[in-house]
Every structure is written in C-alpha cells, then in structure tokens.
Structure 1
C-alpha cells in the first residue's frame, strides 16, 4: 500500500523528487498516530526492562506494537565493505561515485557481491527484528490472547540507504527463515516499514510507501490481515492522505525512489552535480558522441593545467570545463562506463583540438602529450 498527500508534488521531468533541508522526525509522528488513531496504551513500565516489553497495546489489547527506528544511515558499514571489494582485480574504475548496479555489470560474481551488500545493509534491520521478537514474546507469555496480533513497525528516519525494495526483501527473508524447522522470529505476525525519504508520484501527488511484510504463518490465521489492513487504512486517514492499494506490491515497490535533500548552501561541485541530475542533457548522446565530449573535456583540462600548454583557456572556459567534467562523470556512471573504456589517446586529443577550433600548433601539442 502507499499513501498520497493531497498536494501537487514538485517533480522534474527526470523523475527526481526534491525537498529543501531536513524532514521532521517520523518516529514521534508514528507514536502519536498509535496513541490517537489506535487508542494505543503505552506499556512503559519502570519496573521492567525495555528489552522485556513492547511499546504499545492497541485496540483494547488486540494489537501489540513494537517500534524500531533506523536512526543510523548505515553508510559507514557499507563504506567499509566497499573498500574491501575495491581490492578485487575485476573491480571497475569510475570517475567519482557510481551506482552499485553500474559496478556489478563489470565483475565476475555480481550476485555474490549483491548479497554481501544487502547483508551488510541488513545488519541493523536484523538486530531490530531479533529484539522486537524477544519483546513481543515476553509480552505474549504474560498476556496470552487467541485473537492477538503482534507486529513490529520499522521507521526509517530519513536515510536514503534503506530503500523500500531491499528492506522488504531483507525482512521477508528473515521472517521466512527456519532454523531446525523453527522460525527465529515466530512471535512477529508482520512488520510494517514506513519511510518518508522514499516516494513516487501518483496522480500528481507525492506518495509514500506503507510496506507490510507478513510472516508465512499468517496464512493459518488469515483474519489477522483484517487488523493489518486496518492499521494501514488508519495511518493513511490519520495522515490526511489518500490510500492506494496494489494487487501486486512487488511491482509497485520498485517505483519508489529517494527524495533528494537540497541544502541551503552547496559547494560548487555539488551545484554542478545537481544541475546535471536535474537536466541530464547528455543522456541522448550515443557512446561515441559521449566519448567525443570526454576527449574535448580532457583537452581543455590539459590546456588549463599543464605547464607546457601552448594556449591557456580563459578562467571562464576552465570553470565551464570543470562543470562539464562533473556532468560526464555522472553520465558515465549511469551508463556503467568505467574510465578504462575511454583510454588516453593523443590522436583523439588532436581531433578534439581540431573539432573545437584550436590552431595546428595546439593540435600537434595535443597529439604529443
């Protein structure tokens, strides 16, 4: 399910959704929703450890909720893994950052690397699930109820790493695990994942995901789905939003992308990156045309910074070329073109000099470097 807020979303033709600055924390809103829309009663008890109790009993005790918040962005864990992977002989060299999918196209074991990345990203999620299961189990043992539904609500506090699709896959895998025939998360009926860092646009409205991942055992108690559907519907109504239900959640979930945060002040390279992300004007070029742009950029860069340069470009031309170089690195990464596919060539630089209109002397110099 997804909920769409009734205002026109600011979205450019490149399917980017942007916002200025940070968002308001989501977890306090979820807690307020539970108290106001689900008649949630806090189970906070100073006499018992937090690890031995969930957060709320709702709907007259029929629905028990444990909230887990993804407070850290997890980037340091992934950075450590990436440093390890970059030692591989087949790891491609990109100019600047490149999407994981661009890298995987050039290595021998893409699925193995993908699993490592998802495993590293999922460590915080898995830890939260284990703790939530322990808390829900403790409550169930003290308050057995045949019509009870026990869920974990996982809240993403504005981290773009935790995309709905991969997160749903991680949770689904953990809920479906069996160790010696037993589920290590047997006391969780379902997990809701809420994120307002990821969105799409439906009917010109900004639309956020409500991802519900059910435990396999819920097939034996399908009436519990009524409670889960009621949770989703109440969250949408309480949020003042329109709810969209999909017959194929796996299809819809892939349409959500991260919301780009635009800070008030940005260094010049970040401004150049933002300009190209908003207007990827080289997307229409063929690979051969893109290579020509790359050669043009390398020529002007060499003329600007090499001491032997026979014709120094103006400061304005040098700055424009730096912006072009930034745009090229983004486009090459999007197309999965490592820099090794555009090797240095004096002949190509000489052709670039001729194409741009430099003198014969510059053309000869370019061929010689």
Structure 2
C-alpha cells in the first residue's frame, strides 16, 4: 500500500488563514484593508484582543535565475560541468575546488530574500503597534513555502539565525526534498 498526492502543492495561504480565523479565532486585518491602509502599514492578522499579531509571508518568487548568476560568477570555467538542459548543481558542486565558497555565496543570496521579508514584516508590526499599543503583546512572522525547493527548512533557519546575529559565515545551503 502506498499514498500518493495528486495535483500541485497545497494552498498554504488559505490553510493558514483558515487556521488563524477558525482555530485561533483571530481576525483578518485585511478585511479592513481600506481603513487600515489609510493609517499606515499593518500585519495580516490579530488574535487574542490584539495581543498577538501575525504576518503571513509566502515565499513564491522563483530563485533559479538569481542562484544561477551567483553560481556562474563563482565557478572556475575550467571546472564548470558541460551539459544541456537543466539539473541540480548539487550533482557537481562537490567536484569544484571552491565548493565551500560557492555554497556560502548561494546561502548569502537566499538569506537576502529572507532578510527582506523579515524587514518588511517588522515594519508592518512597528507601524501597527505605534497606532495600537498593547502591553505584553508579541508579533509572529510566519514564512510559508510550498513551491521553492531552494528555501529548505535548513536554509531559512540559517538565514533567520544570521539576521538575529547568531549565525556564522558558514554555508547552510543543502537543498532538502521533503516527501
């Protein structure tokens, strides 16, 4: 017996929205978009009388071109593999003399995207909290990804640790394929 999934990836945005609205009994601030937008930036959801703010960020921009540019700029042309079509760079990366440097550059490029997403979320939280201050409140940014394999859990975690100042310069680029 085996299980098989048909169709594309699940609609994580809809599933998360339903979770917040039904299970957490939160409210969607997007429902009041016109009124909120006039006042400034705002997160997607508020729960428990605005004590918890949630911002949902969906990673959906394809990263292949950006990563290929980095790879092409770092790989020694004498070592570059020759092939037609497309394939994962993992197949050839370990054979390159500067594999660690390439991994670090790829990780840095992906980290830039995560940093940008977190910076935008923090800005939304700050603006909303300036208008609606609450004691003992906290904000949560939820990163959703169902389609971009480059944003593996390891890469996202590494990026967040770097953003928080706890990471190091070592690379965490290890694509992870989840079943």
TM range (shorter): 0.7 to 0.9
Does structure 2 retain, via aligned residues, the 8 Å contact 1:67–1:154?
yes
Task: Count how many residue pairs are aligned between Structure 1 and Structure 2.
Answer: 167
- Give the whole-Å Cα distance in 2 for the aligned partners of 1:112 and 1:64: 38
Does structure 2 retain, via aligned residues, the 8 Å contact 1:40–1:58?
yes
**Larger RCO (alpha carbons 8 Å, 6+ apart):** 2
- Give the whole-Å Cα distance in 2 for the aligned partners of 1:55 and 1:167: 21
Partner of 1:257: 177
- Give the whole-Å Cα distance in 1 for the aligned partners of 2:125 and 2:79: 44
Partner of 1:151: 140
For residue 53 of structure 1, give the secondary structure of its aligned residue in structure 2.
Answer: coil
Does structure 2 retain, via aligned residues, the 8 Å contact 1:23–1:158?
yes
Equivalent residues in 2 for 1:180-219, closer than 5 Å: none
For residue 35 of structure 2, give the secondary structure of its aligned residue in structure 1.
Answer: coil
1:287-331 Cα deviation digits (max 9, x unpaired)? xxxxxxxxxxxxxxxxxxxxxxxxxxxxxxxxxxxxxxxxxxxxx
For residue 46 of structure 1, give the secondary structure of its aligned residue in structure 2.
Answer: helix
C-alpha displacement of 1:105:
2.4
For residue 150 of structure 1, give the secondary structure of its aligned residue in structure 2.
Answer: strand
Give structure 2 stretches of 5+ with no counterpart.
Answer: 167-173
Partner of 1:27: 13
Does structure 2 retain, via aligned residues, the 8 Å contact 1:90–1:106?
no
For residue 133 of structure 2, give the secondary structure of its aligned residue in structure 1.
Answer: coil
Q: 2:49 aligns with which of 53, 60, 65?
A: 60
Q: 1:171 aligns with which of 155, 160, 169?
A: 160
- Give the whole-Å Cα distance in 1 for the aligned partners of 2:36 and 2:154: 36
Does structure 1 retain, via aligned residues, the 8 Å contact 2:55–2:142?
yes
Cα RMSD (Å): 2.7
Partner of 1:246: none
1:18-55 Cα deviation digits (max 9, x unpaired)? 64331231111101111111111122331343961111
- Give the whole-Å Cα distance in 1 for the aligned partners of 2:132 and 2:87: 51
- Give the whole-Å Cα distance in 2 for the aligned partners of 1:121 and 1:156: 13
1:134 correspondence with 2:159: no
Distance 1:146 1:81, change over 3 A: same
Q: 1:115 aligns with which of 101, 104, 115?
A: 104
C-alpha displacement of 1:58:
0.6
For residue 54 of structure 2, give the secondary structure of its aligned residue in structure 1.
Answer: strand
Normalising by structure 2, report the TM-score: 0.78
C-alpha displacement of 1:94:
5.4
C-alpha displacement of 1:70:
0.9
For residue 178 of structure 2, give the secondary structure of its aligned residue in structure 1.
Answer: strand
Does structure 1 retain, via aligned residues, the 8 Å contact 2:29–2:36?
no
Equivalent residues in 2 for 1:9-20, closer than 5 Å: 10=3, 19-20=5-6
- Give the whole-Å Cα distance in 1 for the aligned partners of 2:23 and 2:6: 30
Equivalent residues in 2 for 1:1-369, closer than 5 Å: 10=3, 19-44=5-30, 45-49=33-37, 52-86=41-75, 88-93=76-81, 95=83, 99-176=88-165, 257-259=177-179
For residue 47 of structure 1, give the secondary structure of its aligned residue in structure 2.
Answer: helix
Could you list the structure 1 runs, at least 4 aligned residues long, displaced by more than 6 angstroms after superposition: none
- Give the whole-Å Cα distance in 2 for the aligned partners of 1:25 and 1:122: 24
C-alpha displacement of 1:101:
4.2
